[in-house]
Chains A and B, each alone.
Chain A
Amino acid sequence: MNRQKYNQIQVAVVLFVFILIAIAIAGNNYLLSIIGVVVGMVFLALARSKAGIRPDEREVSIQEKAARMTYAIFAPTIGIGSFLLFIPSRSGWSVFSKGEFAYLESLGMVFAYLTLFLIAVYAISYHFLSKKYEGDGDEE
């Protein structure tokens, strides 16, 4: 199996998963959509290993940049989002702290924890990689 064949399989699997999710959502069957996604991922991983496709260094470099950009956009967005959701509920505005808007505080809390989790994962992985790639400090 070569890369071209793998690309064709990838398109077919993505289409299959997409259709399965559409059917699952239409039928309110969320388990089916989860199974579809998992099966698709496993199948693609198997096809990739069978084709002997490894991401080359350019792809890795693109993935690094995309991950950095995702972090730079996502972290401040949910951080500010959580802050904005907290303001109405904590400032005692009766409209937002009661009734149908009461969920805003919970949502803000979820966003805040998500932000903290994201920053923690980044800090831990940064520390780990920094240790991994540091020199041993030998001076001659």
Chain B
Amino acid sequence: MKNKLKVYRAMHDLTQEQLAEKIGVSRQTVIAIESNKYLPSLGLAFKIARLFKVQIEEIFSYEENADENERD
């Protein structure tokens, strides 16, 4: 899974702390998602997409091989 969270966050001029507060997670979680170290749940992914008023696929894209490593 790849994501453009950092890009969208920059486009909306939000800090990691502000984004974390808006979506109800810790700043560490935002950092982990941005660096592809943590896969957000479907609920959180929808929350992020709704915040930026885009479709979920515009932020998160699925890649066949990358998924295994990220989940472990």
Contacts and interface: CB of A to CB of B under 8 A. Distances in A.
Main SS of the interface on chain A? helix
Nearest to B29: A58
Interface of A: 3, 56-59, 61
B7 interface: no
Contacts, number: 19
A3 B27 CA distance: 10
B38 A61 contact: yes
Contacts of A59: 26, 29
Q: What band does the interface of chain B fall in when counting residues whose beta carbon is under 8 Å from A?
A: 10 to 19
A58 to B, nearest CB: 4
A83 to B, nearest CB: 31
A90 to B, nearest CB: 41
A17 to B, nearest CB: 24
B28 to A, nearest CB: 7
A119 to B, nearest CB: 25
A82 to B, nearest CB: 31
B4 to A, nearest CB: 19
A140 B38 CA distance: 35
Contacts of B14: none
Interface string B28-72: 110010000010110010000000000000000000000000000
A57 B32 CA distance: 12
